[in-house]
Each structure stands twice: as structure tokens, then as C-alpha cells.
Amino acid sequence: MPAFGTSVTHNLGQQKATEKLQHFLEQVRERYADQLSDMRGDWSEQGLEFAFKTMGMAVQGNLTVEDGAVHVNGKLPLAAALFRGRIEQTIRTELEKLLT
């Protein structure tokens, strides 16, 4: 499976960034309802484990929050590899909006 990843820096500190990000999944679910299905997310001390389907393809990954950055990494189905750049850019854009 091809991988994807992106990082966004912030000045919020780990706790404040985590608080903002805990609502991130719901916002994504609402904004991209026509493109995503079976979305789930489970928070732990290590961050967020997430999964969803888009265009019938399963995507899974994790989001890690640090004092000055948020990192998102995951696996894509081979058929989605062509869209990796678009997926990374969309995630990065949404995180930047949320963390500024």
C-alpha cells in the first residue's frame, strides 16, 4: 500500500492543538459528506487513529500532536496513489485553517 503524510506547524502547544483537533473529524465529516463514508476516529494518548472510505476505497492513518506540529500519516489503496498529492494538500489545508 502506498503511504501518504503531511505535517503542519503551529504555536498552540500540544494541549490546545489537541482540543481543537478533537472536533476536526466532525468538521471533515460535514464538509466532505458527499465524498466520504464510514468515517471513524479513535483518540488515545498517542493521537488519533482514523479511517474512512472515499470513492469506495479505504484510507487509514494516524494523526500525532506535538507541541509545535501536527503529523498525519497513513496508507492508501494502490488505486488511490494517483490522488496522494491532492489528499495530502487537502489535509494540510484543513489543518492549517484549524490551527491558526
Q: 45: domain CATH number?
A: 3.30.310
**Averaged pLDDT for residues 1-26:** 91
pLDDT at 24 over 80: no
Distances (CA, A) of 78 to 3, 8, 83, 86, 100: 9, 25, 10, 15, 33
Domain residue limits at 47: 3-99
Distances (CA, A) of 11 to 17, 36, 63, 69, 70: 9, 30, 17, 8, 11
How many domains does the chain fold into? 1
Q: What is the tens place of the pLDDT at every residue in 57-98? A: 888 999 999 999 999 999 998 988 888 999 899 889 989 999
* Average pLDDT for 29-47: 87
> What are the distances in angstroms from CA 10 to CA 7, 14, 26, 42?
10, 9, 21, 22
Model pLDDT, residue 32: 85
